Structure 1
Amino acid sequence: MADDGMLLNFEIPADAFAAPLTKFKGGSWKDRLTARKAAEYGRKKASERKPQAQDVTQASVPESHQNARPAKRARTGDASVTNYPGDFVSSLFTFNPMSKEPREPPPTEDVNVEPSNAPLADDETAKFTTLGLSPTLAGHLLKKLDIKAPTAIQRKAVEQLCKDDTDAFIQAQTGSGKTLAYLLPVVERIATISRRMKDTGQDFNRHSGLFAIILAPTRELSKQISTVLDSLLSCYHWIVTGTVQGGEKKKSEKARLRKGLNILVATPGRLADHLNNTETLDVSMVRWLVLDEGDRLMELGFEQDLQKIISVLNLRSRKRQETTIPGLPDRRTTVLCSATIKSNVEQLQSMSLKNPISIVVDASENVGESAAEENNFSAPAQLKQSYAIVPAKQRLVTLTAVLKQTFKRKGSVMKCIVFISCADSVDFHFEILTRSGRRDATEGDSDKSGDHNTNTKPSKHLKKPGSIPQGNTISEIRTQGQASFSGKDNTVQVFRLHGSLQQATRTSTLKAYTQCEEPAILVCTDVASRGLDLPNVDLVIEYDPAFSKDDHLHRIGRTARAGRDGRAMIFLQPGCEEGYVDVLKEARPRNLTRHDADELLKKGFGNNKGSEESDNGWEVRATDWQLGVERWAIDNPKHLEQARRAYQSHVRAYATHVAAERHIFNMQELHLGHLAKAFALRDKPGSINVAGLRPGKDSGSKSKHSRLQKSGKGRTEKDDDLPAETDATEARRKMKTMSRAMGGASEFNLG
C-alpha cells in the first residue's frame, strides 16, 4: 500500500492513566464550580513541577543550606476543620506591607533619668508639717500610710488651699499625686472646723452638715477616691464620707444621705438626680467642690449636669448665710483638676471658677530642665516608651508573643494593662488569651478545639476566688481566667474590664486585679485609663491606639507612677499609621524605641533551648498558633460570632479618631482582609455581618432617663469608656454609614 504522506498523532495525555476526576456533589452550583476549578488548578500546578524537585531529600542538600527557610507548604487545608465556601487561609508572612520609615538607631539609654513625678527630697522644706497640715494628719501620713514627703504638685496645692479660700486649677503629670493634693486640704480644713466646734461645746458628727463634694467622671475613679479618703479619715473617725454613683441602688443611696455625710464623692449624673429627687440632701453648707479629671467630665457630656450642680450650690448657699459653725468659710472654694488643657477644660474653668489661681508644676522643678512650652501633653520622664510596627495580619500573634516574652521570667513583670478600643474586642481577646485546658500550641502540642475549658479557677491568692460576679458578656461569662501561655511555675491571671459589664462586676474585677498576688493582665477599654492608681503596673500595651493624644497620655500614665519605673508600648501598622510617631515625639520622651513584628515574634516564639534549632522555627510556631486560634473560632459558633462582632466593632471604632489624626488612622488605607486574620477569621470582609446588639447589651427595656442620660453631643454615664470625638456629628455620620454596610447594628458596641 502506497504511503500517502498522512501522519496521525496518537500521543497519550500525561494524565490519561491518572485517577478519575472527583465528582463534586451537594451544595449550590456555584460551590461545585468553585471546587472543580480549584481541583483543576491543583492538578495543573502538580504537572508543572520539575521531576527532579520531587526526588530531593534532606540528605542530598548541602549541610550549609539545611537551615535555610523551607519552601512554602502547599495549602492543603486543615483536616480537623470543615472549610466552608468563602474561607480563605492566608499566610502570616506573605503580602505584608513594608514600613515606609527607615529604622533609626536605638537611642542610648539614659540610666540617670530622674523621675519627674516622684516625692521630693526628704528635707525640712519638703515635709507635710511645713505645708499647713496638723501634726495628727502629717503623722498619720508618715506612720500609717508610709508617705514620707509630698510631690511637687502636692507641696504647691496643699500649701495654697490650706491658707486661702480661692478657687484653684491644678495641673500636673499623671501619677504625680493630684488626688492627695486636693484631699489633704479638704480633710485638714474640715478637721479644723470639728476641733473648733468641740472647743465651743458643740458636737461634730455626721449630722453637722455636708461640707465637701468631689465629682469624678467614672465610677471606678470615684470608688478609688473614696478609698483614699477613707484611709485619710482613719485618724478622724468622726468625719463621715460616702459615695453616690451610677449603677448603684438609689434607695440605699438615699438612706445613706438621710443618715448624714460630711464629705460626698459622686459622679455628676447621679448627684444631679439626687439634687432633684432627694429632699434630705442639704448642700447649703458645702464649702469645697472638687472637679477631678475636668477634661473627661466634659467629654462624657456632663456639661449640663455640672451647670445644674453649680447653680444649685450657688442658690442654696445664698439662702443660708447665717451659720453657727465656727471656722466655716463664707464662700465656696472650687478646685478643678486635669492633666491636660483643652478647650473644653477652659470652658469648664470659666463656668465653675472665679479668679482662680493656677497651680502648675514645671518640668524644671523635678528634672532640672527648662519648662516645656506647653505642659498639656507630657509623660513622666522615667517612663520608657516604644512603638511596634506590626502588619494587620500579625497583630494577634504579635500581641501574644509580647505577652509571652513579658511574663517569661517569673517576677520580672508583675502587672500589665492591654488597652483595646471597644468592648466586643475586649471580650474576644480575653477569650483568646484564656483558652485553657491545654498547653500552648507553640510547645508542640496539638491545639484541639475540643479541649476548651471554661471553668478556669481563679487565683488561689485571692481572698475570695469565687466572689467575682458574672457580667453580661458573650461566650462563657467570666471576668478572670488563667493565660493560655502560662507555665506550671509561672501562672499569669487575665482580667477583663469594660463599661458594658454590670457595675458590681466592674468593681469586683478591678478589686481582684488590684489584690492579685500573681502576675496579671488587665484587658480593658478606656474605662480604666483615667485617674486609677493600680499598684505594680509595670507595662502598658496600647494594642489599639487611643482616639486622641490626650487619651494616649492618660493610658500610659497607669504606669511609672509616683517616681517608679514603667514601660509603655503602642502597636502601629505600616503605612500612614507610622505618622503617629511624630505625635509621640511631641512629648519629647526620654526613651522612644522602635520594634518590628519579626523581632517581637522571634523573641516570643523563638527557641528557648539555644541555637540548635533552625532560624525559621519561630515562623512555624507562630503560624501553628495562629491556625490553632482560627480552628478554635471556626469550631464553635459562639466563638465565631464573637470574633465577627469584635471585628465589626473594631472597624467602626477605627473611624472615630479625632479629626486632627484621621490622616494617620485613615479608613481608606485599612486592609480589611488582613485585619480579619487578626480576629481569627477566614471570611471575606464583605461577608462579616453580625446584626443586632451584643448578647447582654441593654436592648431598650430600661427607662429613657437611665438609658439616654445625655446632654447635647455628650454620652451617658454608663458609656464612660466611649472614645472621645472632636466633631461628633461627622463621626456619627461615618459610623452610621459603616453600620448599614456591615449588618445594620443599631449600636457601635464601643462601651
Structure 2
Amino acid sequence: MADDGMLLNFALGDSVITQEAKYKGGTWRDRLSAKKRSQHQPRDGEGEGKGKGPHQPKNPNQTQLGTRPAKRQRTTDSNEGRSGEGGNRSRPQQQGPRRHPGQFASSLFTSNPESTHVEEPKSEEPIEDAKPTNAPLLDGLDTFTNLGLSPNLAAHLLTKLELKAPTAIQKASVSQLLKEESDAFIQAETGSGKTLAYLLPLVQRIMALSKATKEDGVHRDSGLFAIILAPTRELCKQISVVLENVLRCANWIVCGTVIGGEKKKSEKARLRKGLNILVATPGRLADHLENTEALNVSNVRWLVLDEGDRLMDLGFEEELQGIVKKLDARQRPSRVPGVPTRRTTVLCSATLKMNVQRLGEISLKDAIHIKADATDEDGKTDGKKDDEDSFRVPAQLKQSYAVVPSKLRLVSLTAFLKRTFIRKGSVMKAIVFVSCADSADFLFEVFSREFGKRKGKKNRDRNDSDDEEEESDEAKILSEREKMSPHGTIAPATAFSNSLNSQIRTATLKSFSRSDDPSVMVCTDVAARGLDLPNVELVIEYDPAFSADDHTHRIGRTARLGRDGRACIFLQPGCEENYVEILKRGYRDGGKALTRTDATEILKRGFGVSVDSSSKNWEEKTTDWQMDVERWALDNPKYLEMARRGFQSHIRAYATHIAAERSMFDIKELHLGHLAKSFALRDRPGKINVPGLRTSKEETKKDFKASRSGAAGQKRKAGAADDNPVASNTDDAARRMRQKMRENMAGASEFNLA
C-alpha cells in the first residue's frame, strides 16, 4: 500500500519487460540508428496483413543497417566471419535471407547511384542499315588496273590476295600518288585500307625502276629506296606482312624491319645484306642512323609516316626531327636510273589534330590533302564539310553505351560476355580495352582461372585413354555454355599489354588472329592503332579512352573493310554520361543509331533467363559469382596483390584524361569503396597518392595521429641522443636513408600506361 492510498497491482507481461539488445561495432551513429529502429519495429503479430511489418530487403544482397550498408556482414550463428580482409566487426542485422556460416553479404545492389542523363525519346520509324563507308567499291567501274597499276601487280592483287576492287581512299590516293611526286597527307577513317593506299604506289614506282635499269634491274644491293615509320612494333610487323604479300609478284625487291625489342646484332646483319624497303619504329631507326655504318640512306626517295597522330602522342617528335634532318643531309644523286631527285613524304592519319599539323610542318613540303570522295563512301553528299570534325566512325558500325555503377562493373562485363558467347558462332572474337596493364593482367586472371585449370587437367591426362573416355563422356553431357567455359564465365581469354615482352606480344597476337574458336583479348591501347585482327566483331571499352581520338581507333578494330561490327562503352552514372555527346559526333546522322542499356538489363541477360522475366534469380547468381571471385582473390595472395595493383593503377590512369574531357571524368566523383568491388576487393586498398584525389576524414585523422606520434618519437630519440652521440648519428643516417628510398620509390609506383 502506497502512502497516498493507491494500490499498485498491474500485471506486466513478457512483451513489456524485455531485455534491451546490445549493439556493438560500427560508429556510435550506426549503433544509435539501429537502436531507434529496433524500438519502432512492430512486435510479433503486429501489423500483419496491413503492410506494417518489418521492412524486408529488396533482394538478398541488400542490408538495412545504420545510415549506410556495411560492406560485409557476419551471420549471428557463426564465429567464422573474421576471415575477410581487414576483419570488420559485425553490426546488428535485420531479418533477411539466411546465409551459410562464415559467408559475407556482397551488397552489390545497395547504394548505387542513379543515372542523371535523360534519354531522348527514340523515333518509332525503323532505322535503315547504313551502307558501309569503308568497303571496296564493287560497282564494276573502279579496278586496280584503272587506277594506273601495272597489269602484273593488279592481277596479283586479284588472284593471290583476292582483292577485287579498291576502297574509296585507295582509289583517291593511288591515282594521285602515281600521277604526281609531291608530298601528301592521307586522311581516312579506320579500317578503310590506308596501308595499301600508300604501299601500292610505292611498290609500283620501285617496280618501274627495274624496267628503267638496263642491267639486272633492282636488287637488294641497289640500295634503300623507301622507309616506312610506324609507332608500335605490332603495327610494323603487320605492315611488313602486307608488304611481303604484295612483293610476291616482284620477289627481287627485298623488305625488312628494325624495331624495338629485337636483337640489334641480327638487325645490323640484315642491313649489311641490303634492303630496298625498310619498316621501322622511330626510336630504333634513329639508333641505327647514329651507330650503324651499314645503313646507307643516300638513295631514300620515299618516306612514309603511318599513324602520325600516334607518333606524336608517344613522344617521337624529337626522333622524327632528327631522322628527317639526317635523310636530308645524307641524300645523294643515285646511280640507279629513274630515281627521282627529291624525296616524297607521305603522312597518314585518321585525325587532323594539332600535333599532326606540327608533324606535317616538320616533314611535309607543299603537300596535297588526300581524302576519300564522299560520293564513293556512301553514294550521296549533303553538301556539308566535315573537315573540322574530330573523328568519324564507319557508318555500318553499331555502337552502344552502358550506364553501369562502379560496384557492378566486373559482374556486368562478365554478364555481357556470357550473353555474347552463349550462342556459338554469333560472335567469334571480342576485344576488351582497359586503361592500364595491371587491369588487363587482373581481368585475364579472372576470366581464365577456371578455364586454365580444366585445360591443364586435360593435358596432364592426355596419355591415359580411360580418363580421356571419361572426359569425353562428361563433355557430351555438358550444356553448350559449360562446354565453352567450365566456370560459366566467357570464352578463353588472352591478355595483351605493354608490360609483356616483344616475343610474348607477337605470339599473343598471332594466336588470337589465327584462332578458329571464340576468344576474348583483354588489352590496353597498345592494340588500338592500325592492327588488322580478322573476325573481330565486338569491341568493349571497359575503361573509356583517354581522348575521343583514341576512342575512334579502339572501335576501329571492328567493322573493317565494309564488314559489320559492334562496339559498347561502359560509363558510370553521373558526369561520365556527358561523354555521350562526344560519341554522337562521330556519326553522320547525329547519333540517332547510338543505343543505350543499363546494368540491370545486362545482368538479367547474362545471369538470368530474359529481361522481361520477373524472377529474381539473376540477382542471386550475380552475387554468387561476385563472392566467388572475391574468395578466389582472398585465398590467393598473388591474385589479391594483382587486384590491388589493378585498382591503384586504374585510379592513377583515370586522372590522365585530356583536359578538354576531364570534367566528364572527375576523379573526385569516384567512390573508391564501390570501385574496389570491380577488382574483387572487399575493402579498398590503403592510401593512394593521386593528384586531385580527395582524402577521406579517416585518412586525415590517421595522418594527423601519425604525425603527432612521429614528432613525439623524434623528441624522445633526441633526448636519448643527447646522452649517446653514436646513437644520434645512426638515427640521422637511417632517417636520411629512408628519405632517399621514398624519393626513389615515388616514381616506381606509377602505373604502366600502354
* TM more than 0.5: yes
Matched, 1:498 2:497: yes
Conserved 8 A contact 2:537-2:564? yes
Matched, 1:676 2:688: no
Q: Distance in 1 between matches of 2:61 and 2:263?
A: 64
Q: Residue 597 of structure 2: which of 589, 595, 599 is its match?
A: 595
- Residue aligning to 1:121: 138
Q: Distance in 2 between matches of 1:2 and 1:301?
A: 95
- Residue aligning to 1:750: 753
Q: 1:15 to 1:194 in 2, by over 3 A?
A: farther
Matched, 1:77 2:77: no
Deviation at 1:747, TM superposition (A): 2.2
Q: Distance in 2 between matches of 1:208 and 1:247?
A: 28
- Residue aligning to 2:704: none
Q: 1:39 to 1:100 in 2, by over 3 A?
A: closer
Deviation at 1:182, TM superposition (A): 0.3
Conserved 8 A contact 1:89-1:682? no
- Residue aligning to 1:479: none
Q: Distance in 2 between matches of 1:419 and 1:390?
A: 16
Conserved 8 A contact 2:61-2:107? no
Deviation at 1:7, TM superposition (A): 6.4
- Residue aligning to 1:238: 252
Deviation at 1:110, TM superposition (A): 2.9
Q: 1:743 to 1:192 in 2, by over 3 A?
A: closer
Query: What per-residue deviation string (whole Å, max 9, x for no partner) do you get for residues 636-693 of structure 1?
Result: 1111111111111101100100000011111121111211111111114545799xxx
Conserved 8 A contact 1:81-1:634? no
Once structures 1 and 2 are overlaid, which stretch shifts more, 262-271 or 666-675? 666-675
Deviation at 1:227, TM superposition (A): 0.6
Deviation at 1:238, TM superposition (A): 1.1
Q: What residue identity is the alignment partner of 2:617?
A: G
Q: What residue identity is the alignment partner of 2:381?
A: E
Q: What residue identity is the alignment partner of 1:669?
A: E
Query: What per-residue deviation string (whole Å, max 9, x for no partner) do you get for residues 536-584 of structure 1?
Result: 1111111111100000111111111101111111111111111101111
Q: Distance in 2 between matches of 1:174 and 1:437?
A: 34
Q: Residue 341 of structure 1: which of 352, 358, 366 is its match?
A: 352
Deviation at 1:112, TM superposition (A): 3.7
Q: Distance in 2 between matches of 1:133 and 1:456?
A: 55
Deviation at 1:632, TM superposition (A): 1.4
Q: Distance in 2 between matches of 1:582 and 1:554?
A: 18
Deviation at 1:105, TM superposition (A): 3.3
Match of 2:580, SS?
helix
- Residue aligning to 1:189: 205
Q: What residue identity is the alignment partner of 1:331?
A: R
Query: What per-residue deviation string (whole Å, max 9, x for no partner) do you get for residues 163-217 of structure 1?
Result: 32111110011111000000001111111112322xx123432111111100000
Match of 1:242, SS?
strand
- Where relative contact order (Cα < 8 A, 6+ residues apart) is larger, the structure is 1
Q: What residue identity is the alignment partner of 1:600?
A: I
- Residue aligning to 1:666: 666
Query: What per-residue deviation string (whole Å, max 9, x for no partner) do you get for residues 583-611 of structure 1?
Result: 11112346201111111111111127x98
Conserved 8 A contact 1:436-1:456? no
Q: 1:2 to 1:518 in 2, by over 3 A?
A: closer
- Residue aligning to 1:535: 534
Q: After the TM superposition, which residues 193-232 of structure 1 pair with which residues of structure 2 at under 5 Å, given as runs?
A: 193-197=209-213, 200-232=214-246
Once structures 1 and 2 are overlaid, which stretch shifts more, 396-405 or 265-274? 396-405
Q: After the TM superposition, which residues 363-442 of structure 1 pair with which residues of structure 2 at under 5 Å, given as runs?
A: 363-367=374-378, 368-370=380-382, 371-374=384-387, 375-436=389-450
Match of 2:270, SS?
helix
Q: Residue 101 of structure 1: which of 117, 132, 135 is its match?
A: 117
- Residue aligning to 2:580: 581
Q: What residue identity is the alignment partner of 1:604?
A: G
Q: What residue identity is the alignment partner of 1:358?
A: H
- Residue aligning to 2:298: 284
Matched, 1:520 2:532: no
Conserved 8 A contact 2:309-2:349? yes
Q: Distance in 2 between matches of 1:520 and 1:77?
A: 39
Q: What residue identity is the alignment partner of 2:44?
A: Q
Match of 1:436, SS?
helix
What TM-score comes out, normalization by structure 2 length? 0.78
Q: Distance in 2 between matches of 1:315 and 1:46?
A: 86
- Residue aligning to 2:609: 607
Once structures 1 and 2 are overlaid, which stretch shifts more, 294-303 or 188-197? 188-197
Q: 1:312 to 1:425 in 2, by over 3 A?
A: same
- Residue aligning to 2:191: 175
Q: Distance in 1 between matches of 2:488 and 2:18?
A: 59
Match of 1:570, SS?
strand
Q: Distance in 2 between matches of 1:306 and 1:535?
A: 31
Deviation at 1:364, TM superposition (A): 3.8
Deviation at 1:92, TM superposition (A): 1.5
Query: What per-residue deviation string (whole Å, max 9, x for no partner) do you get for residues 282-339 of structure 1?
Result: 010011100000011011111111111111111111xx22x33122111111000000
Q: What residue identity is the alignment partner of 1:602?
A: K
Conserved 8 A contact 1:167-1:357? yes
Deviation at 1:457, TM superposition (A): 7.6
Gaps of 5+ in 1: 23-31, 439-451, 459-481, 691-738
Deviation at 1:91, TM superposition (A): 1.4
Gaps of 5+ in 2: 65-71, 89-103, 460-480, 691-741
Q: Distance in 2 between matches of 1:251 and 1:300?
A: 26
Match of 1:620, SS?
helix
Q: Distance in 1 between matches of 2:44 and 2:12?
A: 24
Q: 1:484 to 1:101 in 2, by over 3 A?
A: farther
Q: What residue identity is the alignment partner of 1:172?
A: A
RMSD between aligned residues: 3.7
Q: Distance in 2 between matches of 1:351 and 1:236?
A: 33
Q: What residue identity is the alignment partner of 2:604?
A: K
Q: Distance in 2 between matches of 1:491 and 1:576?
A: 30
Deviation at 1:89, TM superposition (A): 5.5
Conserved 8 A contact 2:172-2:373? no
- Residue aligning to 2:286: 272
Q: Residue 141 of structure 1: which of 153, 157, 164 is its match?
A: 157
